[in-house]
Structure 1
Amino acid sequence: MRVPFVKMHGLGNDFVVLDARGERLPTMTPSTAAALANRRTGIGCDQVILLEPSEAADFRMRIFNSDGGEVEACGNASRAVALLHGAEALVETAGGTIRVQPANGGARVDMGVPRFGWEDIPLAYAMDTLTMPVGWEALESPSAVNVGNPHVVFFVEDCDALPLEALGPRIERDPLFPERVNVNVATVESRRRIRLRVWERGAGLTRACGTGACATAVAAMRRRLVEREVEVQLPGGVLTIAWGEDGRITMAGPAAEAYRGSFEWDDFA
């Protein structure tokens, strides 16, 4: 079966998007997703995005990391999908229903309400998630937040100086996080600007992470380090994150289509 795809990215965080809203595709497996994502022998991407029909929303978005694991949410992919869809839509994800709207060469996304309970992250045992009494070498006292997927956020003097490629995988798979975790290291540069690097669960170091930007902004707001709307500077570019009085997070930023192609499904099954 020959399957069309669209290669897209949000601030360099790249995706292979498969549209099964009209024509049903074979079952996506972790091994197929990982094979498609492989940058040497596949198409190459950080995440494989599968669009399917939904009874609860306009359509459903499923997200597979480059290791083949399915995850709950992806902010950058949400913007890319909004651009591809071309109109405002409700999108069902495993992390909850979100609203996307194309805007200014990218999209605005209502990412929903963040959760802070230790059992919502989830953590292996109860603790305060605003300032967690844990640490890994130079990274200490993080905040934790679930924005559709789990994040831990460390505020440091210079996020670029830390060996995140070494500490990220250790923290991601620490027994404290039974479903693993995305690791964010952030430097607050002003009341309206944060600099951020992210080790993404199942994908590694990434040029941009939309949910990471949301989680980091909200964690900084909870600690009263920044205003309720901030710019988050990632290696791939800038996202604007606002946390409204209604408790909902809005993310705005660019997305782009790179190219289109097709592949034989059996070659990656």
Structure 2
Amino acid sequence: MSLEFVKYHGLGNDFILVDNRASTKLRLTPDRAVKLCDRHFGIGADGVIFALPGQDGTDYTMRIFNSDGSEPEMCGNGIRCLGRFLADLETTDTEVSKQKYLIHTLAGVMTLKLEANGQVTVDMGMPYLLAAEIPTSLVDADLKVIDQPLDVAGQTWQVTCVSMGNPHCITFVEDVAAISLEQIGPQFEHHSAFPQRINTEFIQVVRSDYLKMRVWERGAGITLACGTGACASLIAGVLTGRCDRRATIELPGGCLEIEWAADGRIAMTGPATRVFAGNLEV
């Protein structure tokens, strides 16, 4: 089978995008997605994203496999790339593309807006804050996990947990550059307190409106950016009194603008860049 693909990245968090609009059946298996994500023997990516027909009144559906073959509920950088991909596909099909899309994901319905300056804004919806919603056993199921102690790698970390439809554990540190992600990240991800594993963000507060972030992503490892993680980190900063409700999040791949509005919804704005297109036999 011949497969056309396009590669995009959001702040260096890179994805293989596949046009799956003709069918609800995925065109690749998880095992095949793993091979394509291999940076030595494949195309190389943090994940494979499929654009499928919409559900329940949405324009399209998003599915994603991580580079290890697991399927996360959502991906913030990935959904921005999907927005650009869909606009490119529609322009090719009809010479006209939308500027706003409703996308069905396993984390709920997301609204994308393509900005005139090339950025993409995503209405990420409402965060989930109760332990049962993360999920985690750090506190009772009906309580929030804010500045709770967690023993990892021989030391105690103060962590705050947030779900953006996918689970995040955030800890604030003096210097993100000093964190050994290769060693510590897997121990957070597979900690017994997180039955569905966890994404982990290490955050340095530069100012109340500017945070630095490094991330270990569940199923992908070290990545240059994580959109849902940036959203979760701002929420954790607000909950712990460390930052404003609107801030710039600096990741290794670049910056995202995140706002937690008064109505409780999270908005994320950042770039999505087309890298190249190709065709391969699978």
The TM-score bracket by the shorter chain reads over 0.9
| Cα gap change, 1:237 to 1:262, in 2 (>3 Å) | same
Q: Number of residues paired by the alignment?
A: 265
| Cα gap change, 1:26 to 1:209, in 2 (>3 Å) | closer
Amino acid at match of 1:122: P
- C-alpha distance in structure 2 between counterparts of 1:214 and 1:24, whole Å: 29
- C-alpha distance in structure 1 between counterparts of 2:208 and 2:42, whole Å: 43
| Cα gap change, 1:26 to 1:248, in 2 (>3 Å) | closer
Is 1:217 paired with 2:234?
yes
Is 1:124 paired with 2:137?
yes
| Cα gap change, 1:26 to 1:97, in 2 (>3 Å) | closer
TM-score by length of 1: 0.95
1:44-55 → structure 2 map (5 Å cutoff): 44-55=44-55
- C-alpha distance in structure 1 between counterparts of 2:272 and 2:138, whole Å: 38
Please list every run of at least 4 consecutive aligned residues from structure 1 whose deviation after the TM superposition is greater than 4 angstroms: 23-27
Is 1:258 paired with 2:270?
no
Tell me by how many angstroms 1:27 deviates.
Answer: 4.8
- C-alpha distance in structure 2 between counterparts of 1:135 and 1:257, whole Å: 41
Tell me by how many angstroms 1:165 deviates.
Answer: 1.3
| Cα gap change, 1:121 to 1:25, in 2 (>3 Å) | closer
1:2-13 → structure 2 map (5 Å cutoff): 2-13=2-13
Is 1:175 paired with 2:188?
no
Are the counterparts in 1 of residues 9 and 81 from structure 2 also a CA contact under 8 Å? yes
- In structure 2, the gaps of 5 or more residues are 88-98
- C-alpha distance in structure 2 between counterparts of 1:80 and 1:217, whole Å: 22
- C-alpha distance in structure 2 between counterparts of 1:215 and 1:154, whole Å: 11
Are the counterparts in 1 of residues 151 and 157 from structure 2 also a CA contact under 8 Å? yes
Are the counterparts in 2 of residues 139 and 154 from structure 1 also a CA contact under 8 Å? no
- C-alpha distance in structure 2 between counterparts of 1:183 and 1:201, whole Å: 8
Tell me by how many angstroms 1:153 deviates.
Answer: 0.2
| Cα gap change, 1:59 to 1:191, in 2 (>3 Å) | same
Are the counterparts in 1 of residues 214 and 251 from structure 2 also a CA contact under 8 Å? yes
CA RMSD of aligned residues (A): 1.4
Tell me by how many angstroms 1:244 deviates.
Answer: 0.5
- C-alpha distance in structure 1 between counterparts of 2:208 and 2:71, whole Å: 35
Are the counterparts in 2 of residues 217 and 230 from structure 1 also a CA contact under 8 Å? yes
1:31-46 → structure 2 map (5 Å cutoff): 31-46=31-46
Tell me by how many angstroms 1:26 deviates.
Answer: 5.3
Is 1:97 paired with 2:113?
no
> Aligned to 1:3, what secondary structure does the other structure show?
strand
- In structure 1, the gaps of 5 or more residues are none
- C-alpha distance in structure 1 between counterparts of 2:177 and 2:157, whole Å: 16
Tell me by how many angstroms 1:125 deviates.
Answer: 5.5
Tell me by how many angstroms 1:102 deviates.
Answer: 1.0
1:126-205 → structure 2 map (5 Å cutoff): 126-127=139-140, 128-136=144-152, 137-138=154-155, 140-205=157-222
Tell me by how many angstroms 1:237 deviates.
Answer: 0.2
Tell me by how many angstroms 1:44 deviates.
Answer: 0.9
Tell me by how many angstroms 1:96 deviates.
Answer: 1.0
Q: Which moved more, 1:103-112 or 1:135-144?
A: 135-144
Amino acid at match of 1:107: V
- C-alpha distance in structure 2 between counterparts of 1:60 and 1:89, whole Å: 10
| Cα gap change, 1:73 to 1:24, in 2 (>3 Å) | closer
- C-alpha distance in structure 2 between counterparts of 1:125 and 1:193, whole Å: 28
| Cα gap change, 1:241 to 1:146, in 2 (>3 Å) | same
Q: How many percent identity over aligned positions?
A: 41
Tell me by how many angstroms 1:70 deviates.
Answer: 0.6
| Cα gap change, 1:26 to 1:177, in 2 (>3 Å) | closer
Tell me by how many angstroms 1:106 deviates.
Answer: 2.3
